[in-house]
Amino acid sequence: MSQKYLNSQFYKTNRDRLRMLMEDDAIAVVFSNDMMPRNGDQYFPFRQNSDLLYLTGIDQEETVLLFFPDSPLEQFREVLFIRKTNEKIATWEGHKYTQEEAAKISGIKNVMWLESFQSVLKQASSLSSKFYLNKNEHPGAPENVESKQLREGKRIKEKYPFHQYYRLAPLMKELRLVKQQAEINTMQQACDITADAFKRVLKFVKPGLKESQVEAEITHEFLRSGAQGHAYAPIVASGKNATVLHYTANNQTINNGDLILFDIGCEYMNYASDMSRTIPVNGKFSARQKEVYNAVLRVFQQAKEMIKPGTSINQINNNVEQLLMEEHIKLGLYSRKDIQDNEKANELIKTYYPHGTSHFMGLDVHDVGTKYERLEAGMVLSCEPGIYIREENIGVRIENDILVTMEKPLDLMADVPITVDEIENFMNDAG
């Protein structure tokens, strides 16, 4: 259970903004995530439902928000249900929120124990004709495990079949896409911690280490600096492993002469950072490695400037693919003649660059929003072009987190070593 949260006014403001988007006379119900079984009697570490965090700040299992802003009875307008603790739970699991603590964090006055939820829901439903129910609608969301949101939503529909039902996810997407200053400040802290971890491993990396040893240094810096840990499974990929986009085994020996690709980001106060860098294991890029790295860096610098109001991730992706095509030709990966056929051109580009350039960021590393959204000031996106040459065991990705502003894009990782000279000098400086 994290003890770190934003000011209660932040969560109150978020609920007020949600109220403005809801239908009149409607109840929104938001559930915490499940505790996910691991094996035996163990569970995976708990991670709260991001929408519930956004509306309440409560980072604890078995939590429910009932939000009924038009209720004629004041006690039903905002109700937070939390797990009732006891001496045994405190002994085995540690401290759980008291009602007073949950009220202070969330700004919700009416905090009740979870066993009251069904009776309160029954009473509130008799005063309403509509429900908003929630589920993870991210395009890449896994569907092989039924979430608590979906499971409990089905139960509500069975118990109250004559109400109207609406999707909460589109409303939450609209709220969460544009970041408030408190969120931007928190994400900057997450980026700074990630930057410090990268600088730490620049001094640590050398031939003969295991990728896992390097990962351990990153984890150490994250936890030492107050982060909750990794925002996603870290990628520490040396040699040919760097050509595997989501390589996370991190168990191979790092060989002299190889490049090592990092895709890492900490989670700080539940907000994600996301950074990629590629460095020479021995502290010196070969001529070919430098050639490929600089090609990606040129594209990164141009792509970063595209992250501005009015465009979309889809447009950025299309523009970046054209830039990378030119770099591929310069690198001798294929010729201009090879791409005269448009279908073949796309196939060749994707051979060496099979992913996109940007995704939204926030409470989730792949946050709410689609690649067709028009960018607005206050949105935060990754910028991550790459080139992957399997036949040469070279994979290069460069990624920073970028804040959209009305002026120039603001790079939240602008101080992280990024050029060939900066990386080599940092690695070889004994100071």
Show the tokens assigned to 363: 């409470």
Average pLDDT over residues 1-21: 87
Cβ-proximal residues to 159 (8 Å cutoff; 6+ apart), any chain: none
Question: Cα angle at 233 between 230 and 234, to 5 degrees?
Answer: 80
pLDDT band, very low/low/confident/very high, at 86 (cuts 50, 70, 90): confident
Angle of helix 287-306 relative to helix 313-330, nearest 10 degrees, comes to 150
pLDDT band, very low/low/confident/very high, at 223 (cuts 50, 70, 90): very high
| Nearest partner of 47 among 33, 57, 58, judged by Cα | 33
Show the tokens assigned to 341: 């056929």
Residue 377's pLDDT is what?
Answer: 98
| Nearest partner of 117 among 12, 27, 43, 36, judged by Cα | 27
State yes or no: pLDDT of 421 exceeds 90: yes
Residue 372's pLDDT is what?
Answer: 96
327 to each of 252, 283, 298, 335, 421, how far by Cα in Å?
30, 24, 9, 11, 20
Cβ-proximal residues to 155 (8 Å cutoff; 6+ apart), any chain: none
State yes or no: pLDDT of 2 exceeds 80: no
In degrees and rounded to multiples of 5, residue 80 shows phi and psi of -110, 130
Residue labelled with tokens 């409990």: 152
State yes or no: pLDDT of 214 exceeds 60: yes
pLDDT digits (tens, 9 = 90+) for 142-178: 888 889 999 999 999 999 999 999 999 999 999 999 9
Query: Which is more confident, 46 or 2?
Result: 46
C-beta of residue 58 within 8 angstroms of C-beta of residue 8: no
For residues 81 and 103, what is the distance between their CA atoms, to the nearest angstrom?
Answer: 10
Residue 265's pLDDT is what?
Answer: 98
Residue 360's pLDDT is what?
Answer: 98
pLDDT digits (tens, 9 = 90+) for 195-207: 999 999 999 999 9
Residue labelled with tokens 């987190």: 401
Query: Which is more confident, 185 or 344?
Result: 185
Alpha-carbon dihedral angle through residues 237, 240, 242, 245, given to the nearest 10 degrees: -110
Domain-wise residue ranges, the chain: 8-177, 181-428
C-beta of residue 385 within 8 angstroms of C-beta of residue 294: no
Q: What is the DSSP letter of 180?
A: P
Residue labelled with tokens 């829901």: 121
Average pLDDT over residues 217-233: 97
Question: Cα angle at 47 between 46 and 49, to 5 degrees?
Answer: 130
pLDDT band, very low/low/confident/very high, at 430 (cuts 50, 70, 90): low
Average pLDDT over residues 5-31: 96
State yes or no: pLDDT of 3 exceeds 50: no
Mean pLDDT of the chain: 95
For residues 67 and 21, what is the distance between their CA atoms, to the nearest angstrom?
Answer: 13
28 to each of 125, 202, 357, how far by Cα in Å?
11, 48, 35
What is the CATH number assigned to the segment(s) 181-428?
3.90.230.10
C-beta of residue 421 within 8 angstroms of C-beta of residue 293: no
Q: Are strands 400-403 and 380-383 parallel, antiparallel or unpaired?
A: antiparallel
**Is 181-428 in the same CATH topology as 8-177?**
no
pLDDT digits (tens, 9 = 90+) for 349-371: 999 999 999 999 999 999 999 99
C-beta of residue 388 within 8 angstroms of C-beta of residue 243: yes
C-beta of residue 147 within 8 angstroms of C-beta of residue 135: yes
pLDDT digits (tens, 9 = 90+) for 370-389: 999 999 999 999 999 999 99
C-beta of residue 29 within 8 angstroms of C-beta of residue 49: no
Show the tokens assigned to 11: 């969560």
Show the tokens assigned to 178: 């544009």
C-beta of residue 30 within 8 angstroms of C-beta of residue 51: yes
pLDDT digits (tens, 9 = 90+) for 294-306: 999 999 999 999 9
For residues 347 and 325, what is the distance between their CA atoms, to the nearest angstrom?
Answer: 11
State yes or no: pLDDT of 431 exceeds 60: no
State yes or no: pLDDT of 1 exceeds 70: no
Show the tokens assigned to 126: 């008799």
Task: Report the b/e string of 21-36 with b at 16+ CB within 10 A.
Answer: ebeeebbbbbbbbbee
State yes or no: pLDDT of 334 exceeds 90: yes
Show the tokens assigned to 414: 């602008």
Residues composing the chain: 431
pLDDT digits (tens, 9 = 90+) for 236-270: 999 999 999 999 999 999 999 999 999 999 999 99
State yes or no: pLDDT of 6 exceeds 50: yes
> Is the domain defined by 8-177 classed in CATH 3.40.350.10?
yes
C-beta of residue 117 within 8 angstroms of C-beta of residue 66: yes
State yes or no: pLDDT of 141 exceeds 90: no
Residue 408's pLDDT is what?
Answer: 96
